[in-house]
Structure 1
Amino acid sequence: MARILVVEDDDTIGTAVARSLTLHGHEVAWAQDGGSAIRETARAPFDLVLLDLGLPDLDGLAVCREIRPALPDAVIVILTARDDEMDVVLGLESGGDDYLVKPVRLAELHARVRAHLRRAEAGRHDPPVDLGDLTVDFASRRVTVAGTEVHLRPREYDLLARLASQPGTAVSREVLIAEVWDENWFGSTKTLDVHVAGIRRQLSAAGGASMPTLVTLRGHGYRLDPPS
């Protein structure tokens, strides 16, 4: 199945989550503080990280920023007792792909893990899409601009790939949330906006003489327009 790192200082929660994930066939490592999490990610790759923000030694947001470069293709799901929208945005901007508010129900946790791992395999047989200097290669999950790779986070890639699969077509926020995150997902819609902003920053920094435009459709969603 998948290699999963659980970063949680609470013995009861950590034991329950790690045991449940193991019973579902995953290979699980458990770190009880930020320093241990950073060392774990330096030693071995992981497919998914469950990261509690309330750690005893380091701020969880700082840990997220530290481990993201070491795990560019991993999904980082933030576990937080902070249901404030600004805390969610800060977590996503620090490198997180998704979040769950504690206390986390194991059924919801497993559903979210399955959705993220399944999405990583989706679209592998579709041909690449070329939109001017931008190429989205579904088989390799690579994005390039004029031949130079652009390193997107996993959910940023999934979001761009979904829009690139139907260039020029309006896609609602509800459809994007359901297809890129989870059809049963609920929470702050800022999750989508933060990832769109990240895509725009990365593509803008990559340059390119002929680039598509990621258009915001107020009250509806987004559209990726081919270059004119």
Structure 2
Amino acid sequence: MPHILLAEDEPRITSFVASGLEAAGCTVEIAATGPAALEAAGSGRADLMVLDIGLPALDGFEVLRRLRARGSALPVIILTARDSAEDTVAGFEEGANDYMPKPFRFDELLVRIRARLGDSRIASSPASLVVDDLELDYRARRLVVAGRLVDLSAREFALAEQFLRNPDQVLSREQLLSRVWALDFDPASNVVEVYVRYLRRKIGSERIATVRGMGYRLVTPAPG
């Protein structure tokens, strides 16, 4: 099982990336500061590090610089909001193997990790996700509802994916904010409620139940 070191200090991003990597069959070790990342990277446990530049105490560039100075060949993918040409060049000059700007698509990050590791044990993104008569088509970026094609916006698609990945489970507003609007949401907004309403209009209001005081749940038919 690939061991990924995630060096990131933003809790929402950490939760979003870690949950995706674990679902893909990886073990994840988290380091929230530069010194912690450097120590964990030098331990020999990790197969690859996903590294944020804006770490506290020691920034990602310095972590990478010191790691390479020690002779470590650990594959490193920089994941950062600093996306200028100068920062990108600096990242590669310090020894990064890849550089991804935020905001990012998780499936692209997963593809890059698989490519760096050459590891088939990391599950690739499926072509579709099926729950009962709902099928989420990743290639066409649309939903099939009882044989009927439904076009979704990018946010609607991401929200539908969360429900289909967790059928009959209650997903809180905070979980949905973190997973769907991980990088750019206002915690005080009603964006979840608005997009749940949009999605209900397209797939049927009865399919997404409101669990009062807790969140929302994708309803699937009872067996037999």
TM-score (norm 1): 0.49
* Max Rg structure: 2
| TM-score between both structures, scaled by the size of structure 2 | 0.50
